[in-house]
Structure 1
Amino acid sequence: MDTIHYFANSRDEQDYVSHSEIDNDYFLQLKAEQALVEAMNWHGGKIAKYRFEVNVLPKSSKLGINNGRIWKLRIWEGEKGMAKGSVANYDREWQLSPSKELEPHVRRILKLYN
């Protein structure tokens, strides 16, 4: 079974930092963006070959998946990127439903964040 790797936000520092010397202003900007993302309840991670982002409400809602806390979920094939590789998208309703192959991964994400 694949492991879910999740981060406090949708992007880890390595996504931003491709060189070894970091400009201090850039580093402060990165930390401020991470704090904002966390405050807005965005989380993300990786499961199998997929990346995902979720927005989690403080408590269950009729807007959430199965009346749960997740009211936004996007899953995409990591190598293709979010724009070209989207395989599931929920934004208060399913805009792109997950395939049968993806359903076990969606259940694991729901279990983790609900």
Structure 2
Amino acid sequence: MTSQDPNAPDFQEPKNTLNIAGQDWHPSRTMKVFNGAPIYLGYQSSAFGFTGRSVFQRALYPLKSFLQSMVADNMVSQKAGVLVAKTAQNTSVLSGLMAAAGMIKRELLNQQKMMGY
């Protein structure tokens, strides 16, 4: 954990050696990874305290909108599938077998829509 005292010269700076259970580890035996420079202090439940918030947390909102666009694309493809299933065949008389197949297709699409896929 980095120093959380804003007046300290090493404020949120990584230490040269990693100390685990009272034992210092040489830098060649350890690796410290930071997600970017902290912008501000914020409480993080996973760290059980106030730690620097990463600049990469700003990427969550664009990621959320991207996922929402993927959901919308999925809904459009399902609607296209429903339209294809409901189109009339080119033959003049629709046989009972083709009507049953169309009904099964529509039922599968409705089940898929109800399950949320």
Name the TM-score, length of structure 1 as normaliser. Answer: 0.25
Rg (Cα) greater in structure: 2
* Larger RCO, structure (CA 8 Å, separation 6 or more): 1
